[in-house]
Amino acid sequence: MTFLTGWGRTAPTPARVIRPRSTGQVAELVGGAGGRGVAARGLGRSYGDAAQNAGGLVLDCTGLTGWTLDETTGTVTAAAGVGLHELLAGLVPRGWFLPVSPGTRHVTVGGAIAADVHGKNHHVDGSFGAHVRSLTLVTADGASRTLGPDDRLFWATVGGMGLTGVITEAVFRCVPIATSRMRVDVERTRDLDHTLETMTATDDRYRYTVAWIDLLARGARTGRSVLTRGDHAAPGELPRGADPLAYAPSARLAAPPWAPNGLLNPVTVRAFNEVWYRKARPRTGLVQRIAPFFHPLDAIDGWNRMYGSHGLVQYQFAVPFGGEGTLRRVVSRLSTDGVVSFLTVLKRFGPGTPGMLSFPLPGWTLALDIPAGWPGLAGLLREFDGWVAESGGRVYLAKDSRMSAASAAAMYPRLPEWRKVRDEVDPDGVFRSDLARRLAL
Amino acid sequence: MRNALGEVDTVLLLGGRSEIGLAIVERLRPRRVVLAMRGGDEPPVSAGAEAHVPAGTEVHVLEFDAARPETHAGVIEAAAGLVGDLDVIIPAFGVLGSQAVYDADPVAAAEAVAVNYGGHVSAGLAAARRLREQGHGTLVVLSSVAGVRVRRANFVYGSAKAGLDGFAQGLGDALYGSGARVMVVRPGFVIGRMTRGMTPAPMATTPAEVAAAVAAGLASGAEVVWVPGRLRVLFAVMRILPRAIWRRMPR
């Protein structure tokens, strides 16, 4: 038995972990899963308990490797265990880029589909699932099915958190790039309203946009942000002599194996925020590499350890346009309570996919990283859940580690429809995870 | 499932009318609770009850007899059948009795011990089996400082608690690495229904205080919880007090 946690390092549970190497082996293992069922796991970047299965079987899908690129169409066929970092290393020098890249490149293709991940380009390109042309799914009966966007099961699987079966392969389209650099504009805003206004007015001019909120700014400055927006740079924008498609993410620094509890406290985080805000001088046409623009946190290996033994909770929610009041309420409450969130990131979402449990919806999404040991956190986030659900929003399942089943049901109105599809394909509940048990999915 | 912040979804309370047990349920606010109790008793879910299940909780009631160990495993499985994985199991049954009565009636003493110790052994082992299979969950064992060092004033009760405390520690060690845990709770004198009419001992506590300590212990992953916490220090001394002095203790 191996104890597993999500990226937040909270609520560990033991499971038998096996690393299958082929779709056939996955099918065999699913057949012999046992009473506690089976869950698929990739690189363990889900913050909560989505890839844990207490007392049961967990398939470490990183053993499913190999991928190919059709250079004429930019179509990638990849095994589910291939990491986006590996794809980027192969794609970028050949002039292609992932259709969607989340905040870390250390997620697998299978995980990206199961969580229907989104990136800084959601307002333009949608989530990862929107670019998947087909996927191979091993279902509870041991069959291996190839599904396309015309199948209901496809859309129960995209965003379905691995609970319809094990994804073993996927085919998806990439986007052409002329360089491996980004042309970035940085702008600072005065307060939250200014942030929302600026993003609404200018987001459509950029393929990639994101706002970092200084949550510890109070009073009139509440919600002041740094907006970072960019596009893939053209060859002429690169420094003379630069290899246009060079891609070599810098060697990673490692966080210490242990960090004292309370390292990230109001004093240190306030100091960091102040420095970060001031450092972000308004600039236009800054040329940046892919890694620092898309995956700044990947520069520090195991940054989650900085939160000490209690771990961290990421609270990411989305509210539809018109629900800005909820956003203001949450930000102002966190700000007045002085809640330490090391990273507070705001994004504007475009239309969602037909994924029944997919997270993105047209509106806003805010993500907060909070130390799990923060006093009173359970009650505070429970209160937020209520506000979010009331405004027609939802909490991201791939990040969740503490929501109640009732909240999940209130936030995901298509849950009954998803359950119906799931029950047809897995009537005995072979696919299970701690997340599924906790949220009674 | 217990979540990242230590909140629990389901609780099984063996001895569904226990004041301390219900105070713990009230404090933990699980989504679903199973009250296992003697048949015919009214479930304590009304607002007027001395200790009750909070409104909004899904309540199930099962028949349970602490004195019939052969039924205990079945009750635990039935509870899991009703609410799924059991996050917290609290065997909260027991009788206090009076040493004078036990002195006069050895059979009554043996019966009390059968419940206070034997019943907990069968229930505890059955609970452990379930939690081990689940790979998670906590068995909250309500021991007592009375079992830490047995006093002449209530040595029948105290000896059963001493046995229970040792059993719980051993079971906790046996479960180590399985994902399931045992948390031993050692309250001092608890002012409540069970001790009505008795003069409270120094550092007396209440069911609500025990519940708060249990909730904190669950959140922090404690193996042993003393209520109040300073009893731990007191009993570090009491344990090594010479017996000649200990036996003269007034109560």
| Residue B4 within any structural domain of the chain | no
Which pLDDT tens digit goes with each residue over A268-304?
888 888 888 888 888 999 999 999 999 988 888 888 8
Of A373, A260, A379, nearest in space to A313 by CA: A373
Residues of chain B neighbouring A13 (CB-CB closer than 8 A): 135-136, 179
> How far is B93 from A273, CA to CA, in rounded Å?
53
Percent of chain B with pLDDT over 70: 96
Does residue A9 lie in a domain region?
no
Residue with the larger pLDDT of the pair B17 and A21: A21
| B157 is a catalytic site residue | yes
Min Cα distance B228 → chain A (Å) is: 21
Q: How far is B205 from chain A (nearest CA, A)?
A: 25
- A150 and A216 in one domain? no
pLDDT at B83: 96
Regarding whether A352 and A256 lie in a shared domain, the answer is yes
Query: Does a structural domain hold residue B1?
Result: no
Whether B29 shows a pLDDT value over 70: the answer reads: yes
Count up the domains in chain B and report the number: 1
Given the structure tokens 């800054």, which residue do they identify? A286
Residue holding tokens 């620094």?
Answer: A253
Asked if residue B95 belongs to a domain, the reply is yes
**Domain check: are A269 and A349 in the same one?**
yes
User: Which of A153, A177, A201 is the last residue in one of the domains?
Assistant: A177
- In a domain? residue A3: no
DSSP letters along chain B, please?
Answer: ---TTS--SEEEEESTT-HHHHHHHHHH--SEEEEEE-TTPPPS-STTSSS-PPTT-EEEEEE--TT-GGGHHHHHHHHHHHHSS-SEEEE-------HHHHHH-HHHHHHHHIIIIIIHHHHHHHHHHHHHHHT-EEEEEE--GGGTS--GGGHHHHHHHHHHHHHHHHHHHHHTTSSEEEEEEEE-PBPSGGGTTSPPPTT-B-HHHHHHHHHHHHHHT-SEEEESTTHHHHHHHHTTS-HHHHTT---
User: In this structure, what CATH number is given to the domain that contains residue A381?
Assistant: 3.40.462
Which one of B2, B3, B134, B220 makes the best mutation probe of the A interface by having the most chain A beta carbons within 10 Å?
A: B3
Query: Is A55 in contact with B133 (Cβ distance < 8 A)?
Result: yes
Q: Is residue B3 domain-resident?
A: no
Relative to beta strand A175-176, strand A144-147 is unpaired
DSSP 8-state assignment for residue A431: B
Name the least confident of A182-191, A276-285, B137-146: A276-285
Whether the per-residue pLDDT at B50 is higher than 80: the answer is no
Cα angle value B111/B114/B118 (rounded, 5°): 175
Same-domain check for residues A199 and A233: yes
DSSP state of A240: T
A324 and A269 in one domain? yes
Q: To the nearest whole number, what is the mean pLDDT of chain A? A: 95
| Mean per-residue pLDDT over chain B, rounded | 92
Contact state of A10 with B1 under an 8 Å Cβ cutoff: no
Tell me the ipTM for this assembly: 0.89
Is A48 part of any domain?
no
Indicate if A228 and A325 belong to the same structural domain: yes
- Do A383 and A246 lie in one domain? The reply is yes
Distance CA A54, CA A28 (A): 20
Q: Which of A4, A17, A399, A434 to mutate to test the interface with B (most CBs of B within 10 A)?
A: A434
Q: Which two tokens stand for residue A373?
A: 């040991």
User: Looking at the complex, does the CB of residue B57 fall below 8 Å from at least one CB of chain A?
Assistant: no
Q: Does B6 touch chain A (CB under 8 A)?
A: yes
Write the pLDDT tens digit of every residue in B164-208: 999 999 999 999 999 999 999 999 988 887 777 788 888 889 999
Q: At residue B47, does pLDDT exceed 60?
A: no
Please give the average per-residue pLDDT across B198-226, as a whole number.
Answer: 91
- In a domain? residue B142: yes
> Is A54 within the bounds of a domain?
no
Mean pLDDT of all residues in B65-76: 96
Question: How many other β-carbons are positioned within 10 Å of the β-carbon of residue A403?
Answer: 27
Angle between helices A324-337 and A377-390 (to 10 degrees): 170
Task: Read off the CATH number of the domain in which B75 is found.
Answer: 3.40.50.720
Catalytic residue among B102, B117, B157, B176: B157
* Same domain, residue pair A272 and A285: yes
Number of domains comprising chain A: 2
Residue A374 lies in a domain: yes
Residues A229 and A315 in one domain: yes
What is the DSSP annotation of A142-202? Answer: S-EEEE-TTSHHHHHHTTSTT-S-EEEEEEEE-EE-S-SEEEEEEEE-SSHHHHHHHHHHH
Tokens 């009473």, residue located:
A35
* One-letter identity of residue B11: V
Q: Are B140 and B183 in contact (CB under 8 A)?
A: yes
The residue range of the domain holding B130 is: 10-246
Residue A269 lies in a domain: yes
A136 within a domain of the structure (yes/no): yes
Residue A140 sits in the same domain as residue A185: no
Q: Are A83 and A63 in contact (CB under 8 A)?
A: no
Alpha-carbon distance B90 to B142, whole Å?
8
Interface of A with B in 304-343 (CB under 8 A): 311, 313
Same domain, A270 and A295: yes
Domain assignment present for residue B251? The answer is no
Rounded to an integer, the average pLDDT of A354-362 is: 98
| Domain boundaries, position A86 | 66-177
Residue B5 lies in a domain: no
**Is residue A108 situated within a structural domain?**
yes
Residues A140 and A231 placed together within one structural domain of the fold: no
Domain containing residue A85: CATH number: 3.30.465.10
